[in-house]
Amino acid sequence: MKFIRLALLALVMLGVFAVLHYALPQTDVVRIVNTDVRRMDFGANAIFYSEAGTGSNTGGNRDIRFIETVEPDGDPMVYRNEDTGWSWPFYFKFDSADLQASAADLVSTREAPIWIAVRHYGWRSRLLSAFPNAISIERVDGPDVKFFPWLTLVILTTLLVAALLLWRVAQIFWRRTVRPLFKRGDDI
């Protein structure tokens, strides 16, 4: 029984870690090589995209903006650029057109690179055609710039404090409400 409980706890923790890893912001330093708008048909991988109502078409397909980049080591990386609107994750991003224009203005070549810090959330999966969603871009001095994830640290600390508070409230509730009910049952 203890093994099953530990296995279930591990699965829950893995799920929480996956959701947090997907939704929390990350920053990559890249060089923008192209911006593009593509008509996308959505199938099973629609969960990796924003709601249909935030795009330009509410049907089974719509136009998605993309920012094509190259990492300092030469690997390609593609970001989608969609408004999140009021939906999950709550970045309240309504400026994808402005971000696309800024990205197009920062396109550079290998000979004269302009390095950009792209803040994004999500995963890149070539198998599922899933792309991380760019939240913001910022010009940086070079490819060696490192960022400390302050926002992620604040969010994780808040979630930890909330979880500990909830755990403590549950303990108090159990001790004051549930346990006395069991003691009354023993008296009968």
If you ran DSSP here, which 8-state letter would residue 143 be given? T
pLDDT value at 20 more than 60: yes
Neighbours of 59 (CB within 10 A): 9
Residues 6+ apart with CB under 8 A from 80: 49, 64, 65, 66, 67, 131, 132, 133, 134
Specify the length of the chain in residues: 188
pLDDT score of 187: 58
Residues 52, 29, 77, 13, CA torsion sign:
negative
pLDDT score of 178: 85
Q: Indicate the pLDDT class of residue 43, thresholds 50, 70 and 90.
A: low
Q: Indicate the pLDDT class of residue 57, thresholds 50, 70 and 90.
A: very low
Q: Please tell me the number of Cα atoms within 13 Å of 129 on its side-chain side.
A: 10
Q: How is the chain split into domains, by residue range?
A: 25-147, 149-188
3-state helix, strand, coil in the chain (%, to 5): 40, 25, 35
Contact 22, 29 (CB under 8 A): no
Contact 49, 42 (CB under 8 A): yes
Backbone angles phi, psi at 64, to 5 degrees: -125, 135
- Residue 67's identity, in one-letter code, is I
94 three-state secondary structure: coil
Query: Please, what CATH class does the domain formed by 25-147 belong to?
Result: mainly beta
Backbone angles phi, psi at 130, to 5 degrees: -105, 140
User: For 78-133, what is each residue's pLDDT tens digit?
Assistant: 999 998 888 888 888 898 999 999 999 999 999 999 999 999 999 998 888 889 99
pLDDT value at 46 more than 60: no
Q: How far apart are the C-alpha atoms of 168 and 171, rounded to whole Å?
A: 5
